[in-house]
Amino acid sequence: MIYRVKHITEYRYSVPVSNSHHELHVLMRGSTRQRIRAESLTVEPWPAVRRDRFDWFGNRATHLAIHERHSELTVTAETELEVTAPPPLPSDGGPWEETRDWVRAAAEPEARAAFEWILRSPHVELSAAARDFAEPSFPAGRPLAEAARDLMTRIHEALVYDQTATDVSTSVDEVLRGGRGVCQDFAHVQIAGMRALGLPARYVSGYLVTAPEPGKPRLIGADASHAWVSVRSPAFGWLDLDPTNDVVPTDRHVVVAYGRDFDDVTPMRGVLLGGGRHQLHVSVDVEPVDESSFA
């Protein structure tokens, strides 16, 4: 599939900002399954400084410094990319305990690299409640892929998607108690459960290509930022799982970045001088492109 993605972030400030610095994660990762064909990043007002780099996790990060006095800030990231479907879901991969023990032994470079994905992180504490929730999916000897997918389904069934129930500071334990949240909460719960069992798990940020209702036109801006998880196995590498929708991601999931949790891949954060109160508006549009136009 070929997609055009347009992600617009707009801030309006009640008091003019005289100086600001921002960190962005809006430029997409390239991979063997995701080839960037063209991209642009537009900022208004124009930044005095822009630095692009790769962060610790290999994500593309951008630093902006704006010294011009402004009451509005608009950041527009546009990308055209080609996405291929992942391989079929592994049928086995060995008992889940083999992955846990592989990471603990840290006897080879890949196992040592995976070790950081079992540690606590700012939004994913090592939660006893998350472990208790996850354990029924991981009986002794169950294949990792099967167990992780079962946990995904149980999270999907246990939590209600509710955009008003949580915010970025809501903990995993609070989400489990309340039974409600958004995609980042679903992802954090699954990551916490798997890490509590010693399994390497990471947070994936990106976009989910949504289809319009039958008989209705596709709505511009209807697509939204999304989050899902990956679990690491020495047998098959990283396996993506989307607990919000109870699906294994396909070529309709487009990756922007991954990290330990949401804090590592926040699309945009900053430090301002001035600004007062602000209004934020985010619009994401993911448009499939007719491949015949490239013939």
**Which H, E and C letters describe the chain, residue by residue?**
CEEEEEEEEEEEEEEEEEEEEEEECCCCCCECCEEEEEEEEEEECCCCEEEEEECCCCCEEEEEEECCCEEEEEEEEEEEEEECCCCCCCCCCCEHHHHHHHHHHCCCHHHHHHHHHHCCECCECCCHHHHHHHHHHCCCCCEHHHHHHHHHHHHHHHCEECCCCCCCCCCHHHHHHHCEECHHHHHHHHHHHHHHCCCCEEEEEEEECCCCCCCCCCCCCEECEEEEEEEEECCCEEEEEECCCCECCCCCEEEEEEECCHHHHCCEEEEEEECCCEEEEEEEEEEECCHHHHC
Residue 292 pLDDT greater than 70, yes or no: no
pLDDT of residue 213: 67
Which one of 3.40.640.10, 3.40.50.300, 3.10.620.30, 3.40.50.2300 gives the CATH number of domain 96-249? Answer: 3.10.620.30
Residue 295 pLDDT greater than 50, yes or no: no
Both tokens of residue 12? 């309006």
Q: What are phi and psi of 103, to 5 degrees?
A: -70, -45
The proportion of the chain whose per-residue pLDDT surpasses 90, expressed as a percent, equals 83
Q: What is the CATH number of domain 2-84+266-294?
A: 2.60.40.2250
Q: How confident is the model at residue 223 (pLDDT cuts 50, 70, 90)?
A: confident
pLDDT of residue 220: 64
Q: What are phi and psi of 142, to 5 degrees?
A: -70, 140
Q: Please give the residue that has the higher pLDDT: either 291 or 169.
A: 169
Neighbours of 256 (CB within 10 A): 25
* Lowest mean pLDDT across 77-81, 250-254, 267-271: 250-254
pLDDT of residue 89: 75
- Single out the residue of 59, 57, 186 nearest to residue 114, CA to CA: 57
pLDDT of residue 291: 65
Q: Which residues pair with 36 in a beta bridge?
A: 81
Residue 229 pLDDT greater than 70, yes or no: yes
Per domain, the residue ranges of the chain are: 2-84+266-294, 96-249
Cα separation, 176 vs 186, in Å, equals 9
Q: How confident is the model at residue 29 (pLDDT cuts 50, 70, 90)?
A: very high
Q: How confident is the model at residue 160 (pLDDT cuts 50, 70, 90)?
A: very high
Mean pLDDT of 195-220: 86
Residue 192 pLDDT greater than 60, yes or no: yes
pLDDT of residue 196: 97
Both tokens of residue 194? 């798997």
86-142 pLDDT per residue, tens: 888 776 678 999 999 999 999 999 999 999 999 999 999 989 999 999 999 999 999
Which of 33-37, 211-215, 224-228, 274-278 has maximum average pLDDT? 33-37
